[in-house]
Amino acid sequence: MADLQHPPKTIYLKDYTAPDYRIEQLSLQFELSEQETTVTSTLTISADYDQSGGVRPLRLDGADLQLISITLNDQLLTEADYSLEDEALLINSPPANFTLEVITRINPSANTALEGLYTSSGNFCTQCEAEGFRKITYFPDRPDVLTVYTTRIVADKASYPVLLSNGNLLEQGELDDGRHFAVWHDPFPKPSYLFALVAGDLAAVEDSFTTQSGREVAIRFYVQHGNEAKCDHAVASLKRAMHWDEQMFGREYDLDIYMVVAVDDFNMGAMENKGLNVFNSCFVLAQPESATDLDFVRVEAVIGHEYFHNWSGNRVTCRDWFQLSLKEGFTVFRDQQFTADMTARAVKRIDDVRVLRGHQFQEDAGPMSHPVRPDSYVEINNFYTLTVYNKGAEVVRMIHTLLGDASFRKGSDLYFERHDGEAVTTEDFIAAMEDASGADLSQFKRWYSQSGTPEIVVERSYDAEQMHYTLNVKQSCPPTAGQSEKQPFHVPLKMALLDTDGEPLPLQLKGEAEAGGIERVLDLTESEQQFTFINIPPEPVPSLLRGFSAPVKLKLDLSDQELAFLMGNDGDDFNRWDAGQQLSVKVMLRLLQVLKSGLQPTLDDALSSAFGKTLTDHSLDPALVAEALTLPAEGYVAEFVEVVDPQAIHVVREYLRRSLAFAHREALIKRYDELTDDGPYSTDAAAMGRRRLRNLCMSYLVELGNDEVRNMALNQFQRDQSMTDVMAALTALVHSGSPEQHSALSAFYERWKEDPLVLDKWFAVQASSPIPGVLDQVRALTNHDDFHLTNPNRVRSLVGTFCMRNPVRFHEANGSGYRFLADWVIRLNSLNPQIAARMLSPLGQWRRYDEGRQEAMKSQLARILEEPSLSKDVFEIASKSLKG
């Protein structure tokens, strides 16, 4: 229980101490039963500290366990020999070397928090990261305690014919009483968070992969019966990831078998348990008729991410949870590079930056702001954040930018070789990069320790007589929680200068003997720096922060004409897209002022012209055209206003979409028709790009609100050729308030009500509708027979979508959205604290809104904190959010 008078203990990085005992090996035996599973844990233990100062007790973490017995060196211990504390078992005076047997009993069927061992759809599965293993047995449940695991699973054969755990299968057989067993051994030492067990009646999809050294690895995907045909894409993605990691990072798989299990009830996307990955089924199962293009891309990305963890997380793991980004940030960078190589690099980069700007920057500026390596936490589950993952990936990307491909590869090779089988820190990662490249990254390490989003302000001047072009660059970082003052970051600013034809100019800094290419990276290391380029004939247009070379906010006063010029001419695809985003934001901010003054808005000529040229330019990749024509999200526009008015931003954005649709109606219809594809469905980048642009054209046309375009959407929905097109049409009908939405929703439900993942889409498309009154519909859907409170995917699809992806309706001035969210956080708190806590973030942004909304949000946070049995997860975020 947590409350404001007796808050939970805060854990600090500065207090880290190494473990007192080594676990040389661990043998586990599971006697599986849904309500009474017995776990026998046998640990071989050695003291790992100087005993001259006396014997230290052995601390074993444990939660929600029924202790049956403890035996030390074959001697049964009595209560005088040990003590039970809150979530801990202490062996008072153990010898230096000993064997400890601990028998516990647990109830997996009652485990709605989905941490430790639990049941899902009649099967057993585990989730041990971050601290779930302590809900299975007593053990030093920390990432710096690595040991070799041997696991024996015993269960009823008829109910649970499949018995899986980490490593390689040593033995299996049948017992006399209708049960059977399997023994698994993982030869690679690992921490407890990487342990996994799965038992159930599952179908297996089998394949194999031959490594670069000629070893054959068995591949098995375990899914619910009937889902076998939905695994083809995931299996192919895994094989591509295995090959890619060999080629790009020199990493080869090390066990005889690689297994993936798909489960419907899972708090996360997936888990990289050594050799036995447990996945949320939404990141495994994909067929064209039931999965969208985005689903296919995400499946491949997550499959790759978890596989890449085999080295960046498993073979080399993190010393403590403060180092979480050591494995997650590095692995996100690796999966981003993989996806970029498998799809379209520019589109992938744009998608990644959207997440940063639209969500991670808000996290940086909010009450839960923390460095990539946090200094403290109350509940570690709360730090599986965009800052740790996505900003952490950007930090690794900046190292890659600073070092270059070859030196970065040398650094990663050295890191893996030097620390194989160890639990390490971010300093160890940086040291390997420095030692391999000779670079000095001492200042760069501030990216790990300082929170917040740096702001880069650039002023420019041109001396036509001397042909000197000067950039005056200032950097700063606003105060964040716990950090009022910041030292300058080391920011790699990739840039180019374009001439009047859009061609990049040779870049030669004052003092240099010759030009150094047409693109370069400026090292920003001081609060203010000046860079003067010489031999620049006409005044150029700057192309700065190319490829989004650093996770910063760049402030550069470009005119509408200059932004339009960059949209049409910049050779950097990301900057070309970003120029359009900047122009759109400028237009929307002006429209907000027009709306506020009560004047009649008009469509901006420069934006409309750029929109039309881009739409009709057939030389461009359709995927990039779709990105360029997508207006900035309402949440991103909100970043540029002092006091957020969600309704006004929505009105302005919708006005702009509708105006662009009217202005370019014929061109939109023509492009839509041109992109119609009656051929077989393909997931290659070109086909996905065509569908993406075609469906964007339709979404604009529906803004016209006439029968012709509604029929266009309805016809596309009824063609039912791919889920990508069906969902695009259904979304257009629902979000436009079309009368046909009701029949379409009903038909969709009847078609897909037996498929949980598709039904999640049905719930989400309704929850994200901007139509007034949608909250009443969402409330009604929470009483639907197919809404299951214990299934995280279903909760996220309905409650999460409304509260986090529908700003105009969530932020209704009457505060109804805030009350709705608080109701569900309170309800979920006792069932699944992780899910409850992760939904709280919208209330933490209260300082950015008007006084009425501020008070409404704060009152709901206070109401949550008044709950008598608040989980640590919810308490930490709610209390920090209320403080602002």
837-840 long-range Cβ contacts below 8 angstroms, 24+ apart? 837/379, 837/381, 837/382, 837/871, 837/873, 837/874, 837/876, 837/877, 839/799, 839/800, 839/803, 839/804, 840/864, 840/874, 840/877, 840/878, 840/881
The SS3 of residue 502 is coil
What number of H helices and E strands is found in the chain? 30, 31
Handedness of CA 700, 703, 708, 710 (dihedral sign): positive
**Sheet bearing 491-498, strands edge to edge:** 520-524, 491-498, 541-544
Q: In 319-454, which ranges are E strands?
A: 376-377, 422-424
Q: How far apart are CA 776 and CA 20, in angstroms?
A: 56
> Could you tell me how far CA 599 lies from the centroid of its own chain?
42
Strand order in the sheet with 197-200: 116-120, 123-127, 197-200, 162-165
| Chain Cα centroid distance, residue 173 | 41
What are the catalytic residues?
306
Q: Specify the residue for token string 């407890």.
A: 192
Instruction: Round to whole Å and give the CA distance between 77 and 312.
Output: 40
Amino acid at 735: H
Report residue 309 as tokens: 């963890």
Q: Are 196 and 166 in contact (CB under 8 A)?
A: yes
* Residue 639, helix vs strand vs coil: helix
Q: How far apart are CA 131 and CA 139, in angstroms?
A: 11
Structure tokens that stand for 706 in this block: 């006439």
Nearest Cα neighbor of 189 from 338, 350, 44 is 44
What secondary structure letter does DSSP report for 845? G
Torsions phi, psi for 708 (to 5 deg): -60, -50
Q: How far is CA 873 from the centre of its chain?
A: 18
Alpha carbons 871 and 884: distance in angstroms, whole number: 20
Q: Which residue has the tokens 């060999």?
A: 246
Strands 528-533, 468-476: pairing kind: antiparallel
What the block records as the tokens of 555 is 């402030």
Q: How is 538-549 classified by DSSP, letter by letter?
A: SPPEEEESTT--
Report the DSSP pairing between strands 376-377 and 203-210: unpaired
Find out whether 196 and 165 touch, Cβ atoms under 8 Å. yes
Q: Encoding tokens for residue 748?
A: 């969709």
Q: Which of 381, 389, 277 is nearest to 331 (CA)?
A: 389
| Helix ranges (DSSP H) in 420-506 | 426-437, 446-449
Cβ atoms of 528 and 473 within 8 Å: the answer is: yes
Task: Please answer whether residues 28 and 41 qualify as being in contact, where contact means their C-beta atoms are separated by less than 8 angstroms.
Answer: yes
